[in-house]
Chain A
């Protein structure tokens, strides 16, 4: 069975129809992971028992495959009577997984802030929340624009995992087409090409944005 280029071209529109889902999932995951990681990182820094627990949780998240985590969320939640739409499960799973990594990124960004900033905040008698939100977070974000952008691209590239839990993103769509026609080669390669171009383009965009940001921050 050779490769049928005409057929490959003909299914492009059908696969692209799933593109909005891919984007939606990506954006939701980026947002949720960024917020979750923020909470996790500052819990880890709280230093009490909760801090140690969070340290373990972050390391555990980073020590298990995303596929296993997705299966866990997808099959275990219904067991406890919590049946969520695959999309929600997918976003939840990916967000948790990447929050482990973003927490590390935040950590590096915070560690790079001079200790004197914390001292000054304390000397001004700011509350812990004010210190974090007004003093630390803005400076942290400035430090981590680049790695953060890279992880956002990673999240985009991780969306095909969701095909295994029946989220109708592009890879899932390709498999649907494949199982209708019994031809796998074409749909899969089409998705591959779309993803590679997407990843490259978005990585460039992120890099441009980053440079813009660095320039505007350079005072």
Chain B
């Protein structure tokens, strides 16, 4: 709704992060992060464990607060005083490593909960919408089951559907395949590729380099709370500019 003000010919920034720092007590988990993600862009974030990938992505949708620096979503500053306007972070949807589905609700209710609470439409309309999305992630026939009745891969696809049902303008993924058994990884990656190809803005923390090659516009490499390198995937994988990235790649590939 707010994007109409900008010039159509110019690609708008979906996320603008400037000089963002995040501390856990004394420990600086994110150090002066600068990152711009344009609308429709697909960014893959990677880096060694503990480098701050989750922290960064959680800052973007407000799961974590940060101490200094700025975060804008479609040009609107996140956090701070809101003066009755909804937080621009409401335009983000998120998929977690451990799915975090609500175990006491059916698949369908998991998907319709957020739109229902935000009064996006009547129950029937939202149910129909959710079923459409569930169909897209190929799990429509499980709509009335409870999460614990599904396999890990199915649960993660439900989680993706749940995020999509919010009709977010930015989709965030935090290692969506790391908690899955190997044989289930591909069914989730396929869905993610499909979602990517629909033109959604995506920021995705993952170590699935095949996925990065296939859909990413840019790869962001983080280490020790800093962004060390940003590059196109083909460049990043063939000729990493930094030693740290090279070392990381030698470990994961």
Contact = CB atoms under 8 A, between A and B. Distances in A.
B63 A122 contact: yes
A125 B148 contact: no
A105 B93 CA distance: 33
Nearest to A139: B104
A126 B113 contact: yes
Nearest to A138: B104
Contacts, number: 55
A117 B100 contact: yes
A189 to B, nearest CB: 47
Contacts of B163: 123
B96 A122 contact: no
Contact of A116 (B90, B100, B114): B100
A219 interface: yes
Contact of A122 (B62, B146, B149): B62
B226 to A, nearest CB: 25
Nearest to A124: B114
Given A124-B162, A124-B166, A135-B102, A116 B96 contact: yes
Interface residues of B, number: 28
A134 B166 contact: no
A119 B100 contact: yes
A127 interface: yes
A209 interface: no
A120 interface: yes
A59 interface: no
Interface of B: 58, 61-63, 87, 89-90, 92-94, 96, 98-104, 113-114, 117-118, 146, 148-149, 162-163, 166
Given A123-B100, A123-B163, 4 more contacts: A117-B102, A119-B58, A119-B96, A124-B162
Q: Which of B87, B114, B146 is packed against the most chain A CB atoms within 10 Å?
A: B114
A217 to B, nearest CB: 8
B200 to A, nearest CB: 16
A123 B63 contact: yes
Contacts of A123: 61, 63, 92-94, 96, 100, 163
A120 B104 contact: no
Interface in A116-167: 116-117, 119-120, 122-127, 130, 134-135, 138-139, 142
Nearest to B115: A124
Nearest to B162: A124
